[in-house]
Chains A and B, each alone.
Chain A
Amino acid sequence: MEVVENHFSQGLKDGIPIGLGYLSVSFTFGMMAVSNGVPVEVAVMISLTNLTSAGQFSALSLMLESASLLELALSQFIINLRYALMSLSLTQKVDKHMKTYERALIAYGVTDEIFALASSTYERVGKWYMSGLILFPVFCWTMGTLLGGAFTTLMPESLRSALGIAIYGMFLAIIIPPAKKLKSVRKVLILAIALSCLFSACASFLPISSGFVIIICTVCAAGFGAWLFPVEEVSHE
């Protein structure tokens, strides 16, 4: 029998590092939007309805250039396509009894960080756990935008920049323990990291959006893992 983690409070707790990391990024988004003449309420609404960093930043510059709606839709589609991959992966991790409308509601909160935490920490996750996990990051993402837009000098720069590493510290706490235990996860990780660093090194003459870089690295590394280490063998290690 699979264990379903479905405590709202556990989700809330797991969401704290994600929320803290979101504060500094959304603060920057709010600052950028307002300093470019976008009303603060528009910036806040965009954060609340989109909940994505790269997509919002690129949309901001497109909006300021008065780009066409088609161009905006297309760029959002490409930058955010990775969420489709994550949602697909999440279908195998959510409570089997979750109803269709509950899935549709939870889909709102599928971000890189929320997905990663929900899918790699527990065997299966339920709707209450997911709601708790999504709540605080959404609050921080929206509040950070508001604060960034309203008081651009509220938080000292040194503190704001120190919070930027919170998300990555949390990522390491998620990936290192399984990588320590399973050779297969270790190999997949090393390949994904190597590819990501390669793309970063080639960024000047190979300009690919960060969303696409993540898709390419993920498909290659996870495909490599699935090919060489099928899951049945993984569970017997």
Chain B
Amino acid sequence: MNNYLPYMVVMALVTYLIRMVPLTFFQKEIKSPFIKSFLFYVPYAVLGAMTFPAIFTSGGSVLASTAGCLIALYLAYKGKGLLSVAVAACIMVYLVDLIFPLLS
């Protein structure tokens, strides 16, 4: 474990400081409309960029992931909760990968 200790400390420190410094040192309400709007859109942009195209290779075959993605899109559009959408997508991936190899 000792050989790894310097690595572990450096990693943990760098990663923590990146998260901690902005959150702790900027406590003011931001007034600039541009920056306010920019920060308003950040979570959506992050999520969009992280979800696509990664969702298609997120688990199981591409076919199963695509089916999971479609059911999640549909349920999300219907306004279903986070957990139900996530679980439905998992079940879909599991089922498609279970059933399709049997058919072909």
Interface residues of A (CB under 8 A from B): 13-14, 16-17, 20-21, 24, 38-39, 41-42, 45-46, 49-52, 55-56, 59, 62-63, 69, 72-73, 76-77, 80-92, 94, 96, 100, 103-104, 106-108, 110, 112, 115-117, 119-120, 158-180, 184-185, 188-193, 195-197, 200, 213-214, 217-218, 220-223, 225-227, 229-232, 234
Complex CA distance for A196 and B34, rounded to whole angstroms? 23
What's the nearest-Cβ distance from chain A to residue B79, in Å? Answer: 6
Q: Do residues B46 and A158 form an inter-chain contact, with CB atoms below 8 A? A: no
Complex CA distance for A184 and B60, rounded to whole angstroms? 34
The list of the 3 closest CB pairs from A to B, nearest first, reads: A164-B59, A169-B89, A226-B37
Q: Do residues A176 and B86 form an inter-chain contact, with CB atoms below 8 A? A: no
Complex CA distance for A119 and B20, rounded to whole angstroms? 16
Measured between beta carbons, the chain A residues less than 8 angstroms from B14 are 73, 76-77, 80
Q: Do residues B11 and A46 form an inter-chain contact, with CB atoms below 8 A? A: yes
Measured between beta carbons, the chain A residues less than 8 angstroms from B15 are 49-52, 55, 76, 80, 83
The dominant DSSP class at the A interface is: helix
Q: Do residues A192 and B19 form an inter-chain contact, with CB atoms below 8 A? A: no
Measured between beta carbons, the chain A residues less than 8 angstroms from B94 are 158-159, 162
Complex CA distance for A88 and B33, rounded to whole angstroms? 15
- The answer to whether residues A42 and B86 also contact, given A49-B11, A92-B30 and a CB cut-off of 8 A, is no
Q: Do residues B24 and A86 form an inter-chain contact, with CB atoms below 8 A? A: no
Nearest CB to that of A100 among chain B residues? B24
Q: Do residues B42 and A63 form an inter-chain contact, with CB atoms below 8 A? A: no
